[in-house]
Amino acid sequence: MKRIVFRGAGVAIVTPFDENGINFDELGRLIDYQIENSTDAIIITGTTGESATMTDDEHKAAIKFAVEHVNKRVPVVAGAGSNDTNYAIQLSQYAEKVGADALLLVTPYYNKSTQNGLVAHYKKIADNVDLPIILYNVPSRTGVNIKPETYQKLSEHPRIVAVKEANGDLSSIVRTKKLCGDELEIYSGNDDQIVPILSLGGKGVISVLSNVAPRDTHLICQLYFEGKVEAAAKLQIDYSDLIDALFCEVNPIPVKAALKLLGWNVGNLRMPLSEIEPKNFEKVRAALIAHGLLS
């Protein structure tokens, strides 16, 4: 069995922006809030962190800041994926150099890849770093889906240890577990599937919900690990309305609106993302109120 990066709920943390770029003061406050409220890992520069519109310098600075600010309190997972294999290697090597605990590598997007290309892409990155790698499968964004048989080939590499699975296909996850066993751990990439994926042997979630409800997202996992499956399922179901609200528009549009409502200075979204529509803003606000997060 390979080393597990973390168990429980890791937050796919937003990136606060201001007129000068990244608002590091607010990012530090967000990180502290997450750790104080039981988040099990910080995932920096992922989709929710708007890494796609960061400059190279910003991307690296965000990773370095997160590592230094977290200061080993919880694992830091650095989003370092790219549709350019060589750039993904460079960014991954930088993350390793500054002390990240693991890498999150999204499937190549736009130019896409065959399944054989995915194997070659990921193995080449893994051959050039010494950090554990979490694959990120999100076909709704990338146009590429990693098949269970491809996971089996990738799991043969000692540094490819897990996947953030956001394909929404539980049957595919069952087949992946059958083929890979303990050689590839699974994290839910969808907040509405935490308990279902835990029931299939998953190790937790990389979560958007954790941005606004870190303690309870952690608790869903903790209750399940303690054998309190019905309580975990109840909490999962109770939060379904807030989860739906946080995905009523493209992530991270709703979660940034939610954080602003909660008093966080997360700044504007970067284009081409636009501000949340009024009807969806009200949906987010109502869900926050319903869960006692906003008065």
Query: Among all residues, which ones are annotated catalytic?
Result: 136, 164
- The residue among 104, 110, 165, 113 whose CA lies nearest residue 131 is 104
- Which tokens hold the place of 239? 């939060």
Characterise 53 by phi-psi region: left (phi > 0), alpha (psi -120 to 50), beta (else).
alpha
The count of C-alpha atoms lying within 13 angstroms of the C-alpha of 192, restricted to the half-sphere facing its C-beta, is: 12
Rounded-to-integer distance, Cα 143 and Cα 138, Å:
8
Q: Where are any strands of DSSP class E within the chain?
A: 8-12, 17-18, 21-22, 41-44, 76-79, 102-106, 133-137, 160-165, 185-188, 204-207
255/15 Cα distance (integer angstroms): 11
H-helix or E-strand containing 242?
A: helix 240-246
Distances (CA, A) of 203 to 49, 83, 139, 206, 295: 22, 27, 21, 10, 34
Distance CA 125, CA 240 (A): 36
Task: From residue 221, give the alpha-carbon distance in Å to each of 142, 201, 207.
Answer: 28, 12, 12
**Measuring CA to CA, which residue among 140, 142, 132 is closest to residue 163?**
132
Contact 218, 39 (CB under 8 A): yes
